Amino acid sequence: MVAVDADGGRVYYQDVERSRVEGEECREELGYKPVRYAWHEPPPVELRDVEDAIAPLRRALNEEEAERYRAAGADAAEAMISALEQLTPELMELEAAAILAGEAWRRGLVVAVNLAAGEERQPVHRHPLPTRRRRGSMSFYSPVPRSTLRCSLRRRPAFRAVRGGLESLDHSRREVGGHRARRE
């Protein structure tokens, strides 16, 4: 939990999380002082609902935040492109979702939500969780990778029969690739 007042910002965390917080979370870089408290005690700070007060701050990114967002989006796009290149109609939805999550992970992103549907389920479900069903000639993928920011992508790769095989009709690759090209 974060507390901000005239003296600055503090991040309160339970003492059982000390090694992870001190070793991996770099809140000091953002100007917050880490403050631990006993896990069995209530937080040593008064909690207030400040959603209405901070909502306008969430709507505007400063230049550093905007650059981090662009970088995270470009990394997410690269992960999606790499995953799309590995997809085949024979894959199960779970396998395709795992490929996508793996490509995101290799780029330092964590896929917090990984939706996937094959040809049968894609037109039926708005937010499909992946299953053991085959993806078929068309599918839907919507990972939400997270670094310090959340980025959302959605692609519907498709295949069609051509002489003796399948050809990718994935026009979204160019769209995603265009995003990557703008970053370079």
Q: Which residues of the chain form beta strands (DSSP E)?
A: 2-5, 8-14, 32-37, 110-117, 140-146, 159-162, 165-168
- Based on the fold, state whether residues 47 and 16 are members of the same structural domain: yes
**Residue-number span of the structural domain to which 41 is assigned:** 2-59
Instruction: Report the DSSP pairing between strands 140-146 and 110-117.
Output: antiparallel
Q: Which of 89, 87, 136, 146 has its CA nearest to residue 114? A: 146
105-141 pLDDT, tens digit per residue, is: 999 888 888 888 888 887 777 778 888 988 876 666 6
Q: Determine the Cα–Cα distance for residues 83 and 71; give it in Å rounded to an integer.
A: 18
Q: Determine the Cα–Cα distance for residues 45 and 162; give it in Å rounded to an integer.
A: 65
33-75 pLDDT, tens digit per residue, is: 889 999 999 888 887 777 788 777 777 778 888 888 888 888 8
Q: Final residue of a domain: which of 59, 86, 103? A: 59
158-175 pLDDT, tens digit per residue, is: 665 545 544 444 444 444
| Amino acid letter for position 171 | H
Contact residues for 58 (Cβ-Cβ < 8 A; gap 6+)? none
12-40 pLDDT, tens digit per residue, is: 889 988 877 777 676 777 788 889 999 99
Q: Determine the Cα–Cα distance for residues 21 and 44; give it in Å rounded to an integer.
A: 18
- pLDDT of the residue at 175: 43
Q: Final residue of a domain: which of 38, 59, 80? A: 59
- Based on the fold, state whether residues 53 and 81 are members of the same structural domain: no
Q: Final residue of a domain: which of 39, 59, 79? A: 59
- Based on the fold, state whether residues 138 and 176 are members of the same structural domain: yes
- pLDDT of the residue at 38: 94
Contact residues for 153 (Cβ-Cβ < 8 A; gap 6+)? 76, 77, 80, 141, 142, 143, 144, 145, 176
Contact residues for 38 (Cβ-Cβ < 8 A; gap 6+)? 14, 15
- Based on the fold, state whether residues 170 and 90 are members of the same structural domain: yes
